[in-house]
């Protein structure tokens, strides 16, 4: 079966919205800790343009998450199990490795990074499951 690009895009945008909303909902948990980290490195707080950039990355991540699901579902079967596997792999390759690198470089504190990394796991699992439920194959005629 071929990948339904239109469904990948629309389902992926919904997944991206979930990722964005999750990121916004994490702010009360961590407060202004990110601003303090940036200030300790003599960097300004995140600008509106930076926040817009990260929002766009969240939508792109949602689309790629659903695209990966659409590609591998024929091998692993459609459903929640495959969505969870795809979400875990995507999380490891994008969130975990990048955040671990920031800690290894000494740029980010461990506590804040652990919170963000595991919060990201939850948001990707939810976004992946929702995206997999919304994704529809191309109907064969």
Region 14-31: mean pLDDT is: 92
Of 68 and 141, which is predicted with more confidence? 68
Secondary structure string (H, E, C) spanning the chain = CCCCHHHHHHHHHHHHHHHHHHHHHHHHHHCCHHHHHHHHCCCCCCCHHHHHHHHHHHHHHHHHHHHHHHHHHHHHCCCHHHHHHHHHHHHHHHHHHHHHHHHHCCCCCHHHHHHHHHHHHHHHHHHHHHHHHHCCCCCCC
pLDDT band at 30 (very low <50, low <70, confident <90, very high): confident
pLDDT at 33 over 80: yes
**pTM for the whole structure:** 0.91
Domain chopping of the chain, boundaries? 5-134
């Amino acid at each position: 079966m071929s990948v339904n690009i239109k469904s990948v895009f629309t389902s992926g945008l919904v997944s991206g919205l979930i990722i964005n909303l999750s990121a916004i909902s994490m702010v009360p948990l961590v407060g202004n800790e990110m601003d303090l980290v940036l200030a300790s490195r003599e960097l300004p707080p995140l600008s509106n343009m930076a926040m817009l950039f990260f929002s766009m990355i969240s939508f792109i991540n949602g689309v790629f998450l659903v695209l990966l699901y659409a590609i591998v579902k024929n091998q692993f079967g459609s459903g929640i199990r495959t969505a969870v596997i795809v979400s875990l792999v995507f999380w490891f390759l994008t969130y975990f490795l990048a955040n671990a690198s920031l800690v290894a470089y000494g740029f980010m504190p461990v506590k804040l990074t652990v919170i963000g990394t595991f919060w990201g796991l939850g948001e990707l699992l939810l976004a992946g499951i929702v995206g997999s439920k919304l994704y529809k194959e191309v109907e064969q005629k």
